Amino acid sequence: MFARELNLFFIAMGFFTRIPMPTWVKVDNERLNQASRYFALVGVLVGGLCALVYSLATQVLPISVAILLAMVAGLLLTGGFHEDGLADTADGFGGGWQVQDKLTIMKDSRVGTYGVLALVISLLFKFVLLSEIALFDGDLVMAALVVGHCLSRMVAASLIFTETYVRDDDSSKSKPVAQSQTPNELGILLLTGILTLWLSGIASALSLCLVLLAARQLLIRSYRRQIGGYTGDVLGATQQVIELLCYLFILVISL
């Protein structure tokens, strides 16, 4: 049982990060679906490593530089995986009129104007929010990074349970993505996020959960209207939006 769960965790880690998987890990579509239970735990890993970079950098560098290095560390760890999804979703939703047009644009490897704007605004917003949090409490930045990376992946992965996966097999660009989720997998996913938030000591945890639930519903309404469900790019975009929302909430309660 432990070996099976460890195999699933390494699949999740290998799927969302550039950290190499052990050679003995077995990967297939069924295991990828099951690995969705550990997507939030991967967020804890990524956020924790970013927080470590921030903590070490603040010993010798200004906080603003430390935050930038932490962001760069996150991009290097994930290969910009979620940022790519945000850019593709922005291009598709902004440039397509019909559902098929949107899906075709989202699968195009080229980045358009909407995608570039979304990336610039997202990265700038992330830097500003974390910098403002640091003005109140430098250590709170570390908790924010872990919580933001964890809960954003929890919310994104939870869409797999309730929403319909939209196929576009004729497109030139293809990204593997989990397409189903059992109640057990959803439960483990949610428990990971709740425990991480509780252990972080961030104030108003219940309020943050309610805010994220409301944001999730708004995003779902938008996705259903735009393409009728979700794609891998949409999950990446969700992760980015929710991560920013976590930082914004933490900043607001710190004021």
Place 178 in a pLDDT band, splitting at 50, 70 and 90: low
**CA–CA distance, 115 with 88 (Å, rounded to integer):** 6
Length of the chain: 255
**CA–CA distance, 244 with 250 (Å, rounded to integer):** 10
Place 4 in a pLDDT band, splitting at 50, 70 and 90: confident
Looking at the predicted structure, is the pLDDT value of residue 81 above 50?
yes
The dihedral built from the CA positions of residue 144, 221, 166 and 173, taken in this order, carries a sign that is: negative
Taking every pair of Cα atoms in the chain, the longest distance, rounded to a whole number of angstroms, is 52
What is the average pLDDT across 153-169? 88
Global model pTM greater than 0.75:
yes
What is the average pLDDT across 193-219? 95
Residue 149 CB-half CA count within 13 A:
27
Please state, rounded to an integer, the average pLDDT across all residues of the chain.
Answer: 91
pLDDT of residue 180: 75
**CA–CA distance, 111 with 109 (Å, rounded to integer):** 7
pLDDT of residue 169: 56
Residue-wise pLDDT for 23-44, tens only, equals 888 887 788 888 889 999 999 9
CA-CA-CA-CA torsion for 214, 158, 227, 85, nearest 10 degrees?
Answer: 100
Q: What percent of the chain has pLDDT over 70?
A: 95
Rg (CA), the chain: 18
Residue 217 CB-half CA count within 13 A:
5
pLDDT of residue 174: 47
Looking at the predicted structure, is the pLDDT value of residue 172 above 50?
no
Looking at the predicted structure, is the pLDDT value of residue 110 above 90?
no
Closest to 31 measured CA to CA, from 9, 50, 53: 9
**CA–CA distance, 188 with 194 (Å, rounded to integer):** 10
